[in-house]
Chains A and B, each alone.
Chain A
Amino acid sequence: MSSTSTSTQQQMDQIKSWLLAKKPEIEDIDPDFDIVENRVIDSLSFTEFILFLEEVSGREIQVYTESVDVFRTLRSIQDNIINGTAA
């Protein structure tokens, strides 16, 4: 495994841990599990989640309503926030 992918995995582990702490009744989060629909995050925790993602990814995230789908799954967060340039 390359150092880049190791770093990505560590970042994703941090994100998963943060989410699991918000919803202790869930044991694990599948990459395609919808964390919005299943209320792991909601409107009131969304901003804190964005700030946490900024800290983990080291980049500023611009939030617009149309880009909420980017934050729905771990897979999308990895593709668009951790490895990508969206949002």
Chain B
Amino acid sequence: MTTELIDAGYSQSIDRLSNLSVDTYYNPYKTFAWPESLPDRQWWMSQDLMTVYGTPQMQQLDESQLMALSKWESINFYSLNIHGIRELLLEVTKRIHSPGYEMPSKFFHHFIGEENEHMWFFAEFCLRYASKIYPDRSVKLSSETYEPEVESLLVFIRILVFEEIVDYFNTRMSMDASLHPIIQQINAIHHQDESRHIAFGRQIVKQLFTQVSAKYPERLQMIEDYVKRYIITSIQSLYNPAVYKDAGIAEPHSFRRALLDQPVRNLYHKQFVKRNVDFFLKTGIISQGIFQ
């Protein structure tokens, strides 16, 4: 690894975010008053975050069916969090205190600790109230390898995309009074920590992109294509046939395809990824928007 992260603003940012992590530290294992059970007949997820929102398919489901769907969509959302956190923990742990990461390692300690705790409370929610975590369907195929600096950039881009989309959902659900207080609380607490992780993620992606641009300009088009495809893939992962099956919807794969084919859904996808796309456009990592 030859990464050298030398920007002065970056260094100050690492210190500031590390201090914030210390000052706002909480014990997640004592923070939540977990109810014994949650009623099935309630909204588990903000309706405007559901994959059916705004579609003709939503009109064909009654309130009871939509509430059931909201439960399983929320469990899918937290399951995606768990799997996303597993990947980022593996990748950040591989880099902490390794050459090129001397400066951010200070924050990596907080990042790893906090992400482990997030994974715990998301898993706790899934297992307590749904007795399941949806399995991870993603696979890293061994045929795709790039230079270490490019690999690192792609890793931190993936982490940032994941965190920004999740944060959009957390922010919305933390303020949604139609949701049970425990649902609002886990989303609020995750949002509180993620705001620091996102700030850090933007900094490290900018630093790594500057290096890669100078050293491997021939990789820039691949990186742009990758970012766009990764964002689309991330959005598609919200549409899980296993969720539709658990909600009692017939032909779940066809249902999924029909939803993804609805042009109206792109309006919502665009909102989910707006901050992400604006950042990637501003930094020059991508040259055109997504979900036009």
Query: Using a CB–CB distance below 8 Å, which chain A residues touch chain B?
Result: 36-37, 39, 41-48, 50-51, 54-55, 60, 62-63, 65, 68
Chain B: minimal CB distance from A29 (Å): 16
Chain B: minimal CB distance from A87 (Å): 12
Chain B: minimal CB distance from A86 (Å): 15
Known: A46-B137, A47-B233; 14 extra A-B contacts, CB below 8 A, are A36-B141, A41-B141, A42-B141, A42-B143, A43-B138, A43-B140, A44-B230, A47-B236, A48-B236, A54-B241, A54-B253, A63-B139, A68-B139, A68-B141
Find chain B residues with CB under 8 A from A45 CB: 233
**Residues of B252-275 contacting chain A, CB below 8 A:** 253-254, 256
Contact status A51-B253, CB under 8 Å = yes
Find chain B residues with CB under 8 A from A41 CB: 141
The interface residues of chain A, by DSSP majority, are classed as: helix
B237 at the interface (CB under 8 A from A): yes
Chain B: minimal CB distance from A46 (Å): 5
**Residues of B132-181 contacting chain A, CB below 8 A:** 135-141, 143-144
Find chain B residues with CB under 8 A from A36 CB: 141, 143
Digitize B189-209: 1 where CB-to-A-CB distance is under 8 Å, 0 elsewhere: 000000000000000000000
Find chain A residues with CB under 8 A from B140 CB: 43, 65
Find chain A residues with CB under 8 A from B10 CB: none
Chain B: minimal CB distance from A27 (Å): 21
17 residue pairs of the A-B complex, CB under 8 angstroms, read A36-B141, A36-B143, A39-B144, A42-B143, A45-B233, A46-B139, A46-B141, A47-B137, A47-B139, A47-B233, A47-B237, A51-B137, A51-B241, A54-B253, A62-B135, A63-B137, A68-B139
Using A44-B226, A47-B236, A54-B241 as known contacts, say yes or no to A37 and B143 having CB atoms under 8 A apart: yes
Across chains A and B, the number of contacting residue pairs, with CB separation under 8 Å, is 51
Find chain B residues with CB under 8 A from A46 CB: 137-139, 141
Question: CA A65 – CA B86 in complex, angstroms?
Answer: 15
Contact status A50-B137, CB under 8 Å = yes
Find chain B residues with CB under 8 A from A60 CB: 242
B41 at the interface (CB under 8 A from A): no
Find chain A residues with CB under 8 A from B128 CB: none
Chain B: minimal CB distance from A26 (Å): 16
Chain A: minimal CB distance from B241 (Å): 6
Question: CA A51 – CA B253 in complex, angstroms?
Answer: 8
B229 at the interface (CB under 8 A from A): yes
Digitize B40-79: 1 where CB-to-A-CB distance is under 8 Å, 0 elsewhere: 0000000000000000000000000000000000000000
Interface centre among B139, B241, B242 (most CB of A within 10 A): B139
Of A42, A47, A51, A54, the residue contacting B144 (CB under 8 A) is A42
Question: CA A54 – CA B137 in complex, angstroms?
Answer: 12
Using A50-B137, A51-B241, A65-B139 as known contacts, say yes or no to A43 and B144 having CB atoms under 8 A apart: yes
Digitize B230-243: 1 where CB-to-A-CB distance is under 8 Å, 0 elsewhere: 10010011000110
Question: CA A39 – CA B226 in complex, angstroms?
Answer: 14
Find chain A residues with CB under 8 A from B139 CB: 43, 46-47, 63, 65, 68
Chain A: minimal CB distance from B130 (Å): 18
Chain B: minimal CB distance from A16 (Å): 19
Find chain A residues with CB under 8 A from B137 CB: 46-47, 50-51, 63
